[in-house]
Amino acid sequence: MKLEEYAPGEIEKRSFAIIEEELGRELDPVQKPIIKRVIHTTADFSYADTLFFSEGAVEEGLNALRSGVSIVTDTNMGKAGINKKKLGQLGGSVHCFMADEDVAEKASRLGITRAAVSMEKAAEMQEDFIFAIGNAPTALIRLYELIKEGRIHPRLIIGVPVGFVNVAEAKELILTAGVPVIVARGRKGGSNVAAAICNALLYQL
Amino acid sequence: MKLEEYAPGEIEKRSFAIIEEELGRELDPVQKPIIKRVIHTTADFSYADTLFFSEGAVEEGLNALRSGVSIVTDTNMGKAGINKKKLGQLGGSVHCFMADEDVAEKASRLGITRAAVSMEKAAEMQEDFIFAIGNAPTALIRLYELIKEGRIHPRLIIGVPVGFVNVAEAKELILTAGVPVIVARGRKGGSNVAAAICNALLYQL
């Protein structure tokens, strides 16, 4: 076994160099830090092909974070993974409503997912948000509907749920919502990917 | 866009059916629930080839959980993803020492990673643990050393860090430690994978 010797902190730098080398092609400079961090988080180079950025999405996300906009996510894993210290320095925080009692009650009463109800709860707060959706396609579908009804105006939607049922379709739907989006097309994604994209934005500020 | 209609809760069932169908081969019945849940979490079928189980590892993990053994993990994301309600019903809990002040202080003083120090902290507690390592290869390396020094006796090590530097090597090392292991060989893994494996065990109890 060959273990390389690195000081803590150097490993990430070396990892990013390996990723860049193995990618073997130039990425869009605005998208590059995000694509590289997602590959760093997953060791999966297919994200270089599946990550889709709507025109100006990265800039809009950076502007929003810079002005203290908070992030709404659909899992407590995503919340745990987002760098809350950095976000807090900018004036933002992370919300996850999935475990809230009112959300559970309403979801059960209406026979819909807690993720969909969480998006409604965010809409009712009438606040600017970035959405980081790593798990529930129903969150994206409800967001699409709320946008079309004029009830919510997301500054950026990071749409990267993972899964086999309605996931790829929900991601294609949110692409047509007319708001800034960063989406991992297809089945792959996850809370870790959602957090990685948030952090890739945060680390540029 | 074609969205299928499912009640909340049915989606997971349908997803597992798709995974089984697309896998197109029979898995070892003991390993199957774990492999399927990891694919469910990642949408990445390559785990069917890379997940390695030492002889009796699943049974040992189930026995440990059944008797109330706690889980030590190397990220707060992993901690967030593990079903703590189910684990608590069995008598266990989840520890993550990464953000502890004493860990940060010792890591900085010795110039080693907080993950390595976290494993030492677990060893000092002289308690039975399952380790779920989704991020830091240095955690696996330190665990290997502590096992060889007779200072720690893990009931099971879930060794699934993700990354490009020392990760595949650290996973090969832990395979030789002589304790029950479930390892994702190669570069891939993550906190989400670590949590998925813990949950796949918990949901059988």
The whole-number pLDDT of residue B71 equals 98
- Whether the per-residue pLDDT at A1 is higher than 60: the answer is no
**CA B97, CA B102: separation in Å to the nearest integer?**
9
CB-based contact A34:A58 (threshold 8 Å): yes
Catalytic residue among B15, B30, B31, B40: B40
Tens of pLDDT, residues A133-159: 999 999 999 999 999 999 999 999 999
What amino acid positions of A are annotated as catalytic residues? 40
- Whether the per-residue pLDDT at A179 is higher than 90: the answer is yes
Closest residue of chain B to A40, computed from CA coordinates: B163
The whole-number pLDDT of residue B2 equals 62
CB-based contact A183:A171 (threshold 8 Å): yes
Domain boundaries, chain A: 49-202
- Whether the per-residue pLDDT at A107 is higher than 70: the answer is yes
Q: Tokens 């349908």 identify what position?
A: B14
B10-202 CATH: 3.40.50.10230
3-class secondary structure, B149: coil
Residue A6 pLDDT level (bands cut at 50, 70, 90):
confident
Q: Is B153 a catalytic residue?
A: no
Contact A77 B190 (CB under 8 A): no
| DSSP β-bridge partners for residue A41 | none
Domain range A49-202, its CATH number among 3.40.50.300, 3.40.50.10230, 3.40.50.880, 3.40.605.10: 3.40.50.10230
B170 in A contact zone (CB under 8 Å): yes
B93 in A contact zone (CB under 8 Å): no
A29 in B contact zone (CB under 8 Å): no
The whole-number pLDDT of residue B37 equals 98
**CA A125, CA A146: separation in Å to the nearest integer?**
13
Contact B165 A18 (CB under 8 A): yes
Q: Nearest Cβ partner of A165 from B1, B4, B113?
A: B4
Residue from A21, A50, A74, A164 to probe the interface with B (highest B Cβ count within 10 Å): A164
B51 in A contact zone (CB under 8 Å): no
B141 in A contact zone (CB under 8 Å): yes
The whole-chain average pLDDT of chain A stands at 95
Tens of pLDDT, residues A68-96: 999 999 999 999 999 999 999 999 999 99
Contact B8 A41 (CB under 8 A): no
Tens of pLDDT, residues B19-30: 999 999 999 999
Which CA distances in Å does B98 have to B52, B78, B106?
Answer: 26, 11, 11
In the structure encoding, which two tokens stand for residue B90, read together? 């069995």
The whole-number pLDDT of residue A11 equals 85
Who contacts B129 (Cβ-Cβ below 8 Å, separation ≥6)? B69, B70, B71, B72, B95, B122, B154, B155
Indicate the Cα dihedral angle A181, A184, A186, A187, nearest 10°.
Answer: -120
Low-confidence ranges of chain B (pLDDT < 50): none
- Whether the per-residue pLDDT at A8 is higher than 70: the answer is no
The whole-number pLDDT of residue B11 equals 85
- Prediction ipTM score: 0.94
| DSSP β-bridge partners for residue B132 | B73, B158
Question: Of A8 and B201, which is predicted with more confidence?
Answer: B201
Tens of pLDDT, residues B157-198: 999 999 999 999 999 999 999 999 999 999 999 999 999 999
**CA B73, CA B96: separation in Å to the nearest integer?**
5
CB-based contact A153:A129 (threshold 8 Å): no
- Whether the per-residue pLDDT at A165 is higher than 90: the answer is yes
Q: What is the mean pLDDT of residues A164-178?
A: 97
